[in-house]
Amino acid sequence: MSSSSHGKSLSLLLLLLSPLLATSYTFSMDDPTSCGDLNFSVDGGKPPYRALIVPAGPNPINVEVRYIIDHEFDGSSSSVQLKYPAQSQFFVTMSDADGFGTGGVTGIVTVQNGGDTSCVPNEGSEAAFVFNIDPSDLLNQCQATRLWWDPAAAEGDVTVKAMIPGGQAWEVPADDLTTEANKGIGFSFTIPVRGGTLLALVAGDNRGWGSAGSIVTTVGNGINPNNTCINDESPSSTPGSPAGGAYPTEVGNADESNGNGGGSKSGPNIGAIVGGVVGGIAALVLLALFFFFCFRKKRSRKENEEKRRRVDLLQEDDEEASGPANELPHYYRPEPFIAPEPTEAGSSSHGGRPMTEVMSERSESPVPSTSAGTSTTRKSAGPRTMRPVNFVQHEDAGPPPKEEDEEAAETVELPPAYTNIRGTTPQAPVA
């Protein structure tokens, strides 16, 4: 191995160890609120101080309006307005005159609701220029990665910072810059961080440390895990309490913080509870309306069918009839036609006015003779099955012409004798 390689490895090791050797001072900050002032207080160190505020975690609103804040100050205390929406997250890296990250890195901090959102931008934030990593947005343990950017978009020298929230921070040496087609200018470096660690890369130029934006991701193990670059001095989360003092680390109330940065208890999510209750009530109401309309439609259909049903005025209890379903009512049952027997017409004259009587028999039963002057037809005796019906037809040809000196004839109409109704006594045979 050449002397230049030994020197480069030694300088990288010193950069990694510098935060451990130089964290001889501490800093703290107040609970952050949306559109409120984020106050810093530093104890020790060498001014000027520099607080690098980097957004992390999911964005609570549709548009990403958070941007990296690079705040520099000289005194032991300072403040900066936090233009982040409530429930968003970030972390802070504190540096002084001795180098980057000498004051340590806070854990993930959650912005609380301060009751004011007027400072939150309405439009998305954009970096002055962007940087890329190859493989794309993928950081694996001990894997060589190329970081590159468009040289025409950068102003001056580009610097890259690496930070582990709640752990260490160091500056990635940008040595041996190379240019590749369609990949701009950049350099290659190895990720000396264990898999599963949250790592942030921040790049900038003369316009600020974070003018090129940031990448915050979890380091992976890769398809073929490689542990050759991992040792006891490898960057990691700092044991014990992270830098920055006590602050809220989860979504909740601002006064519910945990001093060790390992998380804080958040109060019950009232919004989620109310939303669940309202959603449940709405679902029950919709279900009740559904069953109501189904029942109403069924009842309306039944009423319409009853209205369209034909009313039978002759037979009212058709639904309660005990007979077969296909049997017709007795009013419509067909009866066999019985042809009448040949009849004999007899005529009689009462007072010169003719009268004709026609008798029709519907049975084989004998018919007794009626009144005098009327002839009937008798048949042989047989079983009596039906009651005979007599039809009397009167013929009226008008009054006969009067003869001279002749009195008008008087017409007397007699009612039927009904002799056929009487019971007849059988006569004894003649010896």
DSSP per position, 63-79: S-----EEEEESSSEEE
Of 136-145, 175-184, 412-421, least confident by mean pLDDT is 412-421
- Give how far Cα 60 sits from Cα of 65, 92, 236, Å: 10, 19, 28
Query: Which residues are within 8 A (CB) of 68 and not within 5 positions of it... i.e. 6 or more apart?
Result: 52, 53, 54, 55, 202, 208, 209, 210, 211, 213, 214
pLDDT surpassing 50 at residue 7? no
Of 262-266, 286-290, 314-318, least confident by mean pLDDT is 262-266
Element (H, E) at 295: helix 270-308
Note the residue count of the chain. Answer: 431
Of 100-114, 135-149, 257-271, least confident by mean pLDDT is 257-271
Please calculate the CA angle 361-367-370 and round it to the nearest 5 degrees.
110
Q: What percent of the chain has pLDDT over 90?
A: 37
- Confidence class for position 242, pLDDT limits 50, 70, 90: low
pLDDT (0 to 100) of residue 421: 65
Query: Which residues are within 8 A (CB) of 154 and not within 5 positions of it... i.e. 6 or more apart?
Result: 129, 205, 212
Q: What is the mean pLDDT of residues 176-202?
A: 92
pLDDT surpassing 50 at residue 198? yes
List the structure tokens of 94: 């504190």
Encode pLDDT of 297-355 as tens digits. 888 888 777 777 655 555 555 544 445 555 555 556 677 767 666 555 444 444 444 44
pLDDT (0 to 100) of residue 278: 84
> From CA 423, how far away is CA 141, in angstroms rounded?
131
pLDDT (0 to 100) of residue 34: 94
**Prior bond of 55 cis (ω within 30°):** no
- Confidence class for position 103, pLDDT limits 50, 70, 90: very high
pLDDT (0 to 100) of residue 252: 39
> From CA 59, how far away is CA 56, in angstroms rounded?
8
Q: What is the mean pLDDT of residues 263-272?
A: 43
Q: What is the SS3 assignment for 337?
A: coil
pLDDT surpassing 70 at residue 257? no
Q: What is the mean pLDDT of residues 79-105?
A: 94
Residue 192 identity (one-letter amino acid): P
Q: What is the mean pLDDT of residues 79-83?
A: 95
Closest CA to 99 of 216, 17, 197, 36: 17
> From CA 241, how far away is CA 260, in angstroms rounded?
4
pLDDT (0 to 100) of residue 163: 94
- Confidence class for position 101, pLDDT limits 50, 70, 90: very high
Half-sphere exposure of 37 (CA within 13 A, CB side): 7
Q: Please, what is the average pLDDT of the chain?
A: 75
pLDDT (0 to 100) of residue 264: 33
> From CA 173, how far away is CA 177, in angstroms rounded?
10
- Confidence class for position 246, pLDDT limits 50, 70, 90: low
Q: What's the pTM?
A: 0.53
Closest CA to 199 of 275, 256, 253, 147: 147
Burial group, residue 106, by CB count within 10 angstroms (0-12, 13-18, 19+): buried
Cβ 176 vs Cβ 187: under 8 Å: yes
Of 83-97, 238-252, 265-279, 394-408, least confident by mean pLDDT is 238-252
